[in-house]
Amino acid sequence: MPTYNRADGYLPLALDSALAQDYPNLEIIVSDNASTDGTEEFIRSKGDSRIRYFRHSESIGGTNNFNFCVEQAKGAYFLLFHDDDLIDPDFVSVCVRALQGREDVGVVRTGIRLIDGEGRIISEKENRAEGLSFEDFVRAWFNGKTQHYIPNTLYHTEGLKRLGGFHSKRYLFQDGVALVRLASELGRVDVREVKASFRRHGENFGAHPSRALAWAEDCLYLRDVVMDLVAESERDAVHRDATRFLCRKAYRQASGIPGIVDRAKMYAQIYAMFGYRQLPPSMQPIGWLRGVKKGLRGGLR
């Protein structure tokens, strides 16, 4: 659990859901990235021997904090559990049963629910990737038949350490990069049931051109990683599905940019990066789009 200044917010809920696991053999690593809100006092007040608490005296950055957790991990499997998400009480035990005693599988994944800032359910999606080849699995992800979020994925700890932890070009899609690399190398186990919750709230949405551009670059990076892993015979189909899915993700990041001109410029830049010329349905055809197209001299054609 990497955390920063959420002792009075979501952290107690997230930590309680970890402590409530019905699987007994686990450690909970809390890596405090120089919080100033009493996080240390809150964690220590729990007095639970399963918690290993570390506090950095100054910020080491989000990704470095993730990877510090990886370095400290002793268990066979690792969950990157953000301090605003939740897992069901039987998340770990269900995943362990699905492994059937194996400790050599790259990733274990469950279904996922999305919740809002108040904990209300937005949507739920079962994981329907059981039995699929690697190529069919990534295509299922890119076509919305299974979904990847951080709290519904267990990573093989030693395999993750061999990768050097979580890394990507712009350090935004690093969890997805780790997912596909470990799934390709060591395989995966899929649990259909929904057992984890990803919280969507204002603090985890960026709406700035530089962040939108960083997401677009990381989406391209993930596509390149995937293309290096799939079989030659499947590359055309995977490339098509990956481009559509990842380009639309980049558009969604850009859709929050305030101001028509800045937003339109970013859409045009994403078009140029991906060569994909269809805006997602939620962005079409906005009344001002034709005028923006003309203003950009065909940049959005």
Neighbour count for residue 279 (Cβ, 10 Å): 19
pLDDT, tens digit, 9 for 90 and up, residues 96-137? 999 999 999 999 999 999 999 999 999 999 999 999 999 999
Average pLDDT, the chain: 92
Of the residues 157, 184, 203, the one at which a domain ends = 203
Asked if 153 and 21 sit in the same domain, the reply is yes
pLDDT at 276: 77
Q: Residue 87: what pLDDT? A: 98
Whole-number Å distance between alpha carbons of 266 and 21: 43
CB atoms within 10 A of CB 179: 23
Q: With CA atoms as reference, report the closest residue to 114 among 197, 179, 191.
A: 197
- The token duo for 25 is 């053999």
73 in the same domain as 125: yes
Indicate if 173 and 280 belong to the same structural domain: no
Parallel, antiparallel, or unpaired: how do β-strands 28-32 and 51-55 relate?
parallel
* Cα–Cα distance for residue pair 93/99, rounded to 1 Å: 10
Q: How many CB atoms lie within 10 A of CB 168?
A: 19
* pLDDT at residue number 283: 55
Q: Which helix (H) or strand (E) holds 29?
A: strand 28-32
| 104 and 238 share one domain | no
Task: Check which CATH number belongs to the domain holding 126 and give it.
Answer: 3.90.550.10
Q: Are residue 227 and residue 290 in the same domain, yes or no? A: yes
Q: Is residue 301 part of a domain?
A: no
pLDDT at 280: 55
| Per-position b or e across 253-273, b if 16+ CB within 10 A of its CB | bbbebeeeeebbbbbbbbbee
Do the beta carbons of residue 96 and residue 127 sit within 8 Å? no
Buried-state track 33-72, b at ≥16 Cβ within 10 A, e below 16 = bebeeebeebbeebeeeebebeebeeeeebbbbbbbbbee
Structural domain range at position 213: 206-295
Could you say which of 203, 233, 267 is where a domain stops?
203
DSSP code, position 210: H
The answer on 176 and 149 residing in a single domain is: yes
Q: Do 259 and 143 share a structural domain?
A: no
Residues of the chain under the 70 pLDDT cut: 203-207, 277-301
Q: Taking the CB of residue 157, how many other CB atoms lie within 10 A of it?
A: 17
Q: Which residue has the tokens 């990534």?
A: 138
295 backbone dihedrals φ, ψ, rounded to 5°? -65, -30
Q: Which of 203, 223, 249 delimits the end of a domain?
A: 203
Give yes or no: residues 49 and 179 share one domain.
Answer: yes
Report if residue 41 sits inside a domain. Answer: yes
Check whether residue 195 and residue 95 sit in a common domain. Answer: yes
- What pLDDT is attached to residue 278? 62
Please give the distance of CA 159 from its chain centroid, rounded to a whole number.
18
45 shares a domain with 189: yes
Which pair of structure tokens corresponds to residue 267?
A: 């859409």
Identify the pLDDT of residue 63: 96
Based on the domain organization, do 65 and 160 belong to the same domain? yes
**57 and 8 part of one domain:** yes
169-212, pLDDT tens digit by residue? 999 999 999 999 999 999 999 999 999 999 998 765 556 899 99
pLDDT at 205: 56
